[in-house]
Amino acid sequence: MRMFRTSSYMPTEITPIEVEKETVACVWYKDYPTSRIATRHNKVSQYHQYFSTWTEARDMLIERAKRRREHGSEVVRESANAITALLEAKCPE
């Protein structure tokens, strides 16, 4: 099953991953191509969030960038660049 991971430290990065197992709160996938067993990850954590569709992940990142833009002048440029990049992004096939 394919899901999409976003990171709190990469404001425009959406990474497709192959999930082996999914529950309400967690996903299991192999962290590295050489991994033998899948590792459990929380769907929502301090660093990553997992989404069923690329559009859901992009929409969440856009909303996060808008909130950051509203709450601090020092991250305005970064948030504006993130919003622009996400609006222009295409879902990988």
- Predicted confidence at residue 19, as pLDDT, reads 94
- CA 40 to mean position of chain CA atoms: 16
- Please state the φ and ψ torsions of residue 81, each to the nearest 5 degrees: -65, -40
- Predicted confidence at residue 92, as pLDDT, reads 74
Residue range 15-53, pLDDT digits in tens:
999 999 999 999 999 988 888 999 999 999 888 999 999
Residue range 78-93, pLDDT digits in tens:
767 777 788 888 777 6
Parse the chain into domains and list their residue ranges: 2-88
Mean pLDDT across 62-83: 73
**Alpha helix (H) residue ranges in the chain:** 54-71, 76-88
DSSP state of 80: H
Mean pLDDT across 43-65: 91
Distance CA 59, CA 64 (A): 9
